[in-house]
A and B are shown apart, each in its own frame.
Chain A
Amino acid sequence: MAAAVDESAGPPATYPKPPDRYRTFTAFVSWAAPASLILIVAVLFLQARPAISKFGLGFLVGREWNPVTLIFGALPAIFGTVVTSAIAIAIALPVGIAVAVVLAEPGARGIRAAMGIGIELLAAIPSVVYGIWALYVLAPWSLLHLEIPITEHLGFIGFLSGPPGQSSLFTASLVLAIMILPTLTAVTRDVIRAVPRGLRESTVALGATWWETVWHVLLPAARAGIFGATILAVGRALAETIAVTMVIGNRFEIPHSIFSPAYTLASVIANEFNEATGDLYPAALVELGLVLILVTLTVNVVALLLVRSAQARVTI
């Protein structure tokens, strides 16, 4: 019979794999995260189109925000977002690295474990709770003990001049610094822990003190990762909305001093979107959101790639 199996041929080199339908199904479901990312950007772009076609790139450098004459420019909000994030990172970075170094010490016993839990809880507190606390506790305190002394003694420097106010760019930056600290710390700690044990041990074996090990070996080895962590924290700071909205003072202009009220991209949207009528006004607000999300996405992708490559490079 022709159909008889040819026994002499032996088994084929590779067997065809049966289809793994479970894999296909879960892979299909896992589209959800990338798809929502793409959809969000696409929908915001469509909604912002009236403003994009009216103002073009001039939107990014316009200084006027006037819902009555329908002239919209985003520069003061972009300025406020960038400056609050920059001040926040300048405050949080030294503290964050110190905390990460302490938490990355091998073993987690007693007080250090408790500190680690505390820092993680800092990330869990809702942003609106930071907002109400900053509004009623931090802002009055910072006015009395930071802003007034600084403007009195250093007021001759332009951006430190008075008059100080409770709601200011500076207060918003302080809250942001507290809120981004856990991100900064957690990622930096992981990067420092990823530094090979042998490196630390050989430094100690050469007679280096604890500080010499940290300063000359651990931190330089973790440099790229710490840079990534910093950028990741910047991304968090740029995106933060509610706590900043409650203390920044909500004035749409480029302030002459960090103690003046200002605005950020996210807080303009939070304050004005519900009252925006017509076509152009909401579209301009959505365009602010589009600018914000595109910037934070870029910042996050860059940071994540940096952190990943830093953690993957285990050998020195």
Chain B
Amino acid sequence: MTRNAWRRYSSATALAVMYALTGLALVPLGLVLWFAASKGLPAVIHPEFFFNSERPTGVTGGGVANAIVGTGIMVGMASLAAIPVGVLSGIYLAEYGVSRWASWVRLASDVLVGAPSIALGLFAYAVVVVPQRHFSALSASLALAILMLPVVIRTTESAVVLIPRGLRESGLALGLPRWRVSLQLILPAAAPGVITGALLAVARAAGETAPVLFTGFGNPIFSLDPTQAIASLPLVVFRDALTPYKDLQQVAWGAALVLVVMVLIINLGSRWVLRRQIRLAGQL
């Protein structure tokens, strides 16, 4: 083989190997989705799975209604705290991003994304559960809010930065105060990006187990009280999967499928909205 033929041949081989490795990397995704669907479906096809609460092993008709509602309450309360704070912080980073303080905030939120979620649980336990003397949905919301905050901050920043300067300048030229320009002109224009960022944070919080282990704690009884222990979907998966009982394992797979479907919808949906947002921002 001539030298050039060898070079072309080895390049083509390397290209093929790289694509093969990329395919290999996607195998676990396919397997996780397939097994969540095939093992979870037998639980999910019964409508009472969504309307009944957890039941002990041996009692038929158990569901995850308490866990779905519990996750909803905890993530909802966490969002009420994390989203406004995160959006305002993100706006600060986008509008005044060159300052020294802004680079500290950016570093802190990037580091916070990587903070171990179990440590957030320990923190919420020490700050809320210990003084209150019992587990509560509120304490779990604190942990989840800290988890969501950096995601909201960074997605808001990148959405607001995309808005062209002209919009801001025309608002200021009309004599609007800065807060009105920012909140009534820029933020609505960036809304799709901001909302998808918030939704991604919600999806992440709803799937987290470690922060709710010793804060929300879990509760087999249907409860709406934010000051008491409360069930959550990831906790159902975690605890029931590790039991030796087939019926509880089935519930765990069902709950896992619910989580996967929620995450898929939010992620794929947000990609679509974001792509539209980038196109629209280009037209402004």
Chain A residues proximal to chain B, CB less than 8 Å: 20-23, 25-27, 29-30, 32-34, 36-37, 39-40, 43-44, 46-47, 94-96, 98-99, 101-103, 115, 117-122, 124-133, 135-137, 178, 181, 185, 209-212, 214-215, 232, 235-236, 238-242, 246, 266, 269-270, 273-274, 285-286, 289-290, 292-293, 296-297, 299-301, 304
Contact = CB atoms under 8 A, between A and B. Distances in A.
Given A214-B14, A296-B114, 8 more contacts: A27-B101, A29-B88, A29-B89, A95-B25, A119-B26, A125-B32, A129-B32, A289-B118
22 contacts: A22-B182, A30-B88, A36-B146, A39-B123, A99-B18, A102-B19, A122-B25, A125-B32, A128-B234, A128-B238, A129-B36, A129-B256, A132-B241, A135-B242, A136-B39, A241-B117, A241-B209, A269-B118, A286-B122, A289-B118, A297-B111, A304-B110
Contacts of B112: 33, 36-37
B51 interface: no
Interface string B166-188: 00000000000111001000000
B32 A130 contact: yes
Contacts, number: 252
Interface in B207-233: 207-210, 213-214, 217
B213 A274 contact: yes
Contacts of B108: 33-34, 37
Interface of B: 7-8, 10-11, 14-15, 17-19, 21-26, 28-29, 31-32, 35-36, 39, 85-86, 88-89, 91-93, 95-96, 101-102, 104-105, 107-112, 114-120, 122-123, 125-127, 146, 149-150, 153, 177-179, 182, 203-204, 206-210, 213-214, 217, 234, 237-238, 241-242, 249, 252-253, 256, 259-260, 263-264, 266-268, 271
Contacts of A94: 21
A129 B123 contact: no
A40 B22 contact: no
A129 B89 contact: no
Contacts of A235: 114
Contacts of B19: 102
B178 A20 contact: yes
Contact of B25 (A22, A117, A181, A289): A181
A239 B147 CA distance: 13
Contacts of A32: 85-86, 89, 149
Contacts of B146: 36, 40
Contacts of A210: 11, 14-15
Most chain A C-beta atoms within 10 Å of own C-beta, residue among B29, B150, B217:
B29
Contact of A269 (B22, B122, B271): B122
B28 A124 contact: no
Q: Is the interface of A mostly helix, strand, loop or mixed?
A: helix
Contacts of B18: 98-99, 101-102
A247 B274 CA distance: 37
B241 A135 contact: yes
A51 B119 CA distance: 17
B207 A118 contact: no
B7 A212 contact: yes
A137 B26 contact: no
B260 A129 contact: yes
Contact of A26 (B91, B109, B123): B91
Contacts of B268: 117, 121
Nearest to A111: B19
A310 to B, nearest CB: 15
Nearest to A235: B114
B256 A121 contact: no
Contacts of B237: 128-129, 131-132
